Structure 1
């Protein structure tokens, strides 16, 4: 399968990076030693963004990058300490289920920079946070969904009702209502970050109730949409290549600005605990609306103009997409 092949390639690249690491002290001309610790596979939407940005920095010769995927929550602290004791100068990860443990490790290693996906605040002098503030393109993708639905019913399938998911769903729904005030929504959380079969079944149930567009916050939803011949809106990554007749648009997350800023600060010796979340917004090129691609000619011209005009307003600072972290309601 294509996803397994991609995963094997990523794993091989990570192993190659680990094998290339040396043990000499790091000076200004040396590559920064960076580690990534992830509780899910590299190809999972959220983690793939971090991993891809760090792999790009590695390819440019700026860092030496090691990473571990599928780390169980009880093992997260141990793995983080191993990287910290192994010479890592900058550690990335998503720590939502292991907040206390990750912050404890950061406190024990004050000379190491930590940048964690977290709903919490920065801590100490070395624990920075980031978040997926891609509500702007989520709003725009919602406008497309609202203008494309024929039944007036849209289904949303998410992982957990946490702020990082809620704010994107709420922005998507606001965008849909902006062009179609009568649209209605069905919402399901599968209580897992990576369970495509469960997400697929939840999506099937929504189609059975009349939904003709599905918001694919989790893997598996677009598969259901493809099988039932309805449309889907992607999230975080662009999967239109895999679903050319199904995925209309996607709100994309680009972690490169966040990663680049952290690397720059650590190399300059100016790193301090901060909120890197704003680097995920459109004005920093941290997020965008994916090109319509195969749906370029299928989306009505007047709808495309409305979306383009709203995007221009966002970039000009004339329109602000509301950040609503509350659990969305059907």
Structure 2
């Protein structure tokens, strides 16, 4: 390539929205909704940050801010990061969506990556998510097989599609192996509040629930289950929560953000970075199923692992019809699988779940 061609290519790259040139060093920054020691969601994101450091050594510098509330505080933190020289900023909670886009508009040279959101209002904003509902299919199978009271529970954070997907998948797969199963959903309206999460678990246990799943970030539900001397079991959420093995934690949904973070920072380093909307799952390694312990009967373990493997192979979709909505109206016909658009906008329970989704 001669000098004139090189200059023309460089000018074209700079003119293209979201285009990136190779960089000798990248400063990658992370905004966390909880503490890195939460043992769950934020812990796993920070493990991804550490994986970036391990992968690129002195080619990368990382920084993070933990316990950042969703709202004006988040916008302030992101602005400070952009001003401090961050080349790429990962904002790791759904409620950061509007602040991310607001700040991105002011710093077009900085790349912003928003976890679990859907707005990409500027060329320098990408979104990424994990198909958590795939993991719920696996643990729902275990829940349906192992409940003795036929009452299973789910501690939910906020009524957004990501959470509703998980509730529906968990219930459908428990119901598939145990037609008598009943689901109790408690909305905690928090991502991380151990006291609230513990109270939700206590309330369920008092109602006879003996298997508890959660979409909140702390180990509090497992700590409450541990007080029942084996009567109640649960699952690690976001992180393995291995300290509660072999029971009450009988398996886990582990969010593995490392592959995505390493890939995105690497793309900025080598100049191949592009705006994306990523949604990976078990097949891509972003959703992992933690060890299924000896507290689970061998045949149940084998059944759960078979579902995991079929999802990974692409031969099974957790939302495969026939499935009706809660009001009995048809959603998916026999053999039909849910389109991503339906899942990303999911605002309904499937048939059989009692109660209403908060508005």
Confirm or deny a common fold (TM above 0.5): yes
1:310-329 Cα deviation digits (max 9, x unpaired): 22221221101226433544
Q: Does 1:42 align with 2:29?
A: no
Counterpart in the other structure of 2:193: 195
Q: The residue matched to 2:244 in structure 1 has which SS? A: coil
Measure how far apart 1:74 and its partner are.
1.9
Q: Equivalences for 1:145-224 in 2 at 5 Å?
A: 145-218=143-216, 219=218, 220-224=220-224
Counterpart in the other structure of 1:265: 267
- On the 8 A contact 2:96/2:114 being kept in 1, the answer is no
- Which has the higher Rg, Structure 1 or Structure 2? 2
- On the 8 A contact 1:217/1:234 being kept in 2, the answer is no
Counterpart in the other structure of 1:326: 347
Which blocks of at least 5 consecutive residues in structure 1 are unaligned?
A: 1-26
TM-score normalised by structure 2 residue count: 0.78
Larger proportion of helix: 1
- On the 8 A contact 1:95/1:102 being kept in 2, the answer is no
Q: 1:228 to 1:78 in 2, by over 3 A?
A: same
Q: The residue matched to 2:243 in structure 1 has which SS? A: coil
Q: 1:29 to 1:160 in 2, by over 3 A?
A: closer
Q: 1:200 to 1:243 in 2, by over 3 A?
A: farther
- On the 8 A contact 2:126/2:275 being kept in 1, the answer is yes
Measure how far apart 1:120 and its partner are.
1.5
Measure how far apart 1:271 and its partner are.
2.1
Counterpart in the other structure of 1:233: 235
Measure how far apart 1:28 and its partner are.
5.8
Q: Equivalences for 1:56-205 in 2 at 5 Å?
A: 56-60=51-55, 61=57, 62-72=59-69, 73-205=71-203
1:153-202 Cα deviation digits (max 9, x unpaired): 10111221222222222222222112112110110011111111111111
Match of 1:256 among 237, 255, 258: 258
Tell me the matched-pair count: 299
User: 1-side partners of 2:34 and 2:266: how far apart?
Assistant: 27
Q: 1:172 to 1:271 in 2, by over 3 A?
A: same
TM-score normalised by structure 1 residue count: 0.84
- On the 8 A contact 1:145/1:233 being kept in 2, the answer is no
Match of 1:277 among 262, 265, 279: 279
For structure 1, which segment, 252-261 or 160-169, has the greater mean C-alpha deviation from structure 2 after superposition?
160-169
CA-atom RMSD in angstroms? 2.0
Which blocks of at least 5 consecutive residues in structure 2 are unaligned?
A: 1-20, 320-337, 355-359
Q: The residue matched to 1:277 in structure 2 has which SS? A: strand
- On the 8 A contact 2:89/2:113 being kept in 1, the answer is yes
User: 2-side partners of 1:98 and 1:145: how far apart?
Assistant: 32
User: 2-side partners of 1:316 and 1:158: how far apart?
Assistant: 29
1:66-109 Cα deviation digits (max 9, x unpaired): 00111233221121111111111110013532432220211221
Measure how far apart 1:258 and its partner are.
1.3
